[in-house]
Amino acid sequence: MEEEAAVKKPLKWFDAISMNVIYLAITLRSQTLTPLIVPLLVQQFVGDETKGTSYGNLRLVSLMVALLVQALAGQLSDRSTSRLGKRRPFIMVSGILEVIAFLTLGVIAGTMEGMAGYAALFAIIIFSMVSSNIGHGAAQGLIPDLVPTEQRGRYSAIKAFFELPLPLIIVAFSVSKMVSAGNIWGALIFISVVMLVGVALTMFVRETPQKGPAEPIDWLAIGRLVAMTLSFTAIILLVGWGVKKLLPLLQGLPEVQSTIMISIVGVVGMIIAVALGVIFSVRISLGKEANKRPAFTWWVVNRLAFLVGANNLSSFVLYFIQERFPQYQGAAAAGPTSRLMLVVGISILVISLPSGWLTDKFGKKPLIFISGILAAVGTLLVILTPNMSLIYVGGILIGLASGIFFVANWALGTELVPQKEAGRWLGISNLAGAGAGAIGGYIGGPIGDGAGYIVLMGLYGFLFLFSTIALLKINPSKEGLSTVSAANE
């Protein structure tokens, strides 16, 4: 009853800001560290020969930690009886720990070198992933907790504004210039201030504390979550090990044959990791229930395959620009990297709202299919053009494709799950969010080192195409999962 009362409580205009401003801090963190500071530091510590492999290892471990911590934080905050409310204590602790992580990262960047520096960087990024996802997992409960159903659309739109275009614009026009000038401390202090301001504003969220004893922790659900994470990680490690073993053999072939064979091995390895990783993880998480809805499993495969391409284009684009354009070396590549990400982000923003209308008019699967083809074409343009201006055009195509995909794919996913357990089933889709960077980074990094980052970008383009193939396996009507029947469950 207390929860219902909180939902019905009248909301003020500033509630939309206080509930969502934390996403600005979280995304600004990721858009500063992932494509800019961390790749540069990895390159600084390990050198050019193994920078992709080293960065891929870091991405794998950190993202699997994120997958587990975010889900655990969400479950634990559900049961919190703190006087500050269910979510705010987690967000406050998260913000404080993140600032400690940022400042420590600055010390590491300025005082360490070699493999000792890489080991310290590895450790602090893992710590930052834990601290960041403590707050992220809890923050995702604020809108469902406090906003009436009929107002959630507008609150989610404000969330999207804080989460996507605003941080990309800030990075492009301020943070990237600091990083390009070698002022890593300036960038880290800037995102620390934004984090503290975001946390402070979130403390104005009018949460009503839960009364009564806390619900017992569901250890079985946590055990399944841990088993799912370990299984997914093991599959990525196994496939990555196989690819790494084959690379030295393939590099001994004539150049053209070597490039072709490495490309084939890379694509096949990523596809195996995507398909097997999802199939095993979904079955571990849902048990026999997964067999009743195979379309859901293939929906996650489709989502993960697309995101492997989309997420890792941004992760490795700095190395790609350094390779493609000799004039942009070291920190100088941070500027064009952030501008390309800005172009992609604005394109996503522009197409997101029209995509809802297009999805309703033409159907979900046709729009998802088109998005995969459009993203592949955009990637091809990015790879082939020798002109930075045309690369931005490719970025626009990728951004438009991503915006269409995010809307149509999520709409399809909500149709494929039991409505009474939508949160549980849709929560598994985070396999795609975290798994994309892990697969693309851990398997793709060594390929970038061995065959070049132009080849690696091409592999991500093939993953867009594979996502359209997985789409063919999704047939809700054969399972009796039409929109009407799902709504009546």
73 and 31 both lie in a single domain: yes
pLDDT in tens, 123-145: 999 999 999 999 988 888 888 78
Dist. CA 9–CA 30, nearest whole Å? 33
**Strands annotated E in 110-265:** none
User: Is the pLDDT confidence value at 193 over 90?
Assistant: yes
Closest CA to 406 of 382, 372, 439: 372
The answer on 247 and 202 residing in a single domain is: no
- CB contact at 8 A, 45 and 121: yes
Asked whether residue 58 falls in the same domain as residue 11, the answer is yes
The sign of the torsion formed by the CA atoms of 30, 32, 35, 39 equals negative
Put simply, whether the predicted model's pTM sits higher than 0.85 gets the answer no
Compute CA distances 417 → 207, 271, 279, whole Å: 29, 24, 16
- Residue 272 CB partners (closer than 8 Å, separation 6+): 239
At 485, the pLDDT band (50, 70, 90 cuts) reads very low
pLDDT band at residue 488 under the 50/70/90 scheme: very low
Half-sphere exposure of 112 (CA within 13 A, CB side): 19
Residues 203 and 77 in one domain: yes
pLDDT above 70: percentage of residues in the chain:
90
Tokens of 299: 């929906």
Tell me the pLDDT tens digit for each residue of 54-111: 999 999 999 999 888 887 888 788 878 888 888 899 999 999 999 999 999 999 999 9
Q: For 424-444, what is each residue's pLDDT tens digit?
A: 566 667 777 788 889 998 999
Q: Looking at 202, 217, 232, which one is the last position of a domain?
A: 217
- Among 190, 217, 244, where does a domain finish? 217
Whether 372 and 234 share a structural domain: yes
325 phi/psi in degrees, rounded to 5: -130, 100
184 or 311: whose pLDDT is higher?
184
Considering the domain architecture, whether residues 139 and 274 belong to the same structural domain is answered as: no
Query: Around 106, how many Cα atoms within 13 Å sit in the side-chain half-sphere?
Result: 17
Q: How far apart are CA 464 and CA 458, in angstroms?
A: 10
Asked if residue 387 and residue 353 are part of one domain, the reply reads yes
362-401 as b/e: b if 16+ CB within 10 A: eebbebbbbbbebbbbbbbbbbeeeeeeebbebbbbbbbb
User: Cβ distance 65 to 435 under 8 Å?
Assistant: no
Residue 9 DSSP label: S
Q: What angle in degrees, to the nearest 10, is found between the helix axes of 294-324 and 430-442? A: 40
Percentage of the chain beyond pLDDT 90 is 47
Are 271 and 332 found together in one domain? Answer: yes
What is the spatial distance between Cα 118 and Cα 474, in angstroms, rounded to a whole number?
Answer: 43
Cα–Cα distance measured from residue 379 to residue 397, given in angstroms and rounded to the nearest whole number = 8
Dihedral angle of Cα 456, 461, 463, 468, to the nearest 10 degrees: 180
Residue with tokens 């989610």: 156
CATH number of 112's domain = 1.20.1250.20
Residues 440-479: tens digit of each pLDDT: 989 998 999 888 999 999 999 999 999 999 999 888 666 6
pLDDT score at 9: 63
Q: Specify the higher pLDDT residue, 192 or 319.
A: 192
Predicted local confidence at residue 38, as pLDDT:
96
Q: How many C-alpha atoms does 257 have within 13 Å on its Cβ side?
A: 6
Residue 172 sits in the same domain as residue 278: no
**Which residue type sits at 411?**
A
Confidence of residue 153 (pLDDT cuts 50, 70, 90): low
Number of domains in the chain: 2
Measuring CA to CA, which residue among 457, 477, 466, 428 is closest to residue 302? 466
pLDDT at 102: 98
The b-or-e profile of 437-446 (16+ CB within 10 A means b, else e) is bbbbbbbbbb
Stretch 173-197: mean pLDDT = 94
Residue 427 confidence (pLDDT): 60
Same domain, 68 and 4: yes
Distance CA 468, CA 58 (A): 29
Least confidently predicted of 323-327, 373-377, 414-418: 414-418
Instruction: Pick the last residue of a domain from 217, 248, 270.
Output: 217
Is 50 exceeded by the pLDDT of residue 382? yes
pLDDT recorded at residue 5: 40
Residue 147 domain boundaries: 1-217
CA-to-CA distance for 24 and 232, rounded, in angstroms? 29
Helix (H, G, I), strand (E, B) or coil at 461: helix
Whether residue 164 sits in one domain with residue 235: no
C-beta neighbour count of 93 within 10 angstroms: 16
**Average pLDDT in the 192-203 region?**
97
Same domain, 366 and 328: yes
What local confidence, expressed as pLDDT, does residue 2 receive? 42
Q: pLDDT higher for 314 or 28?
A: 28
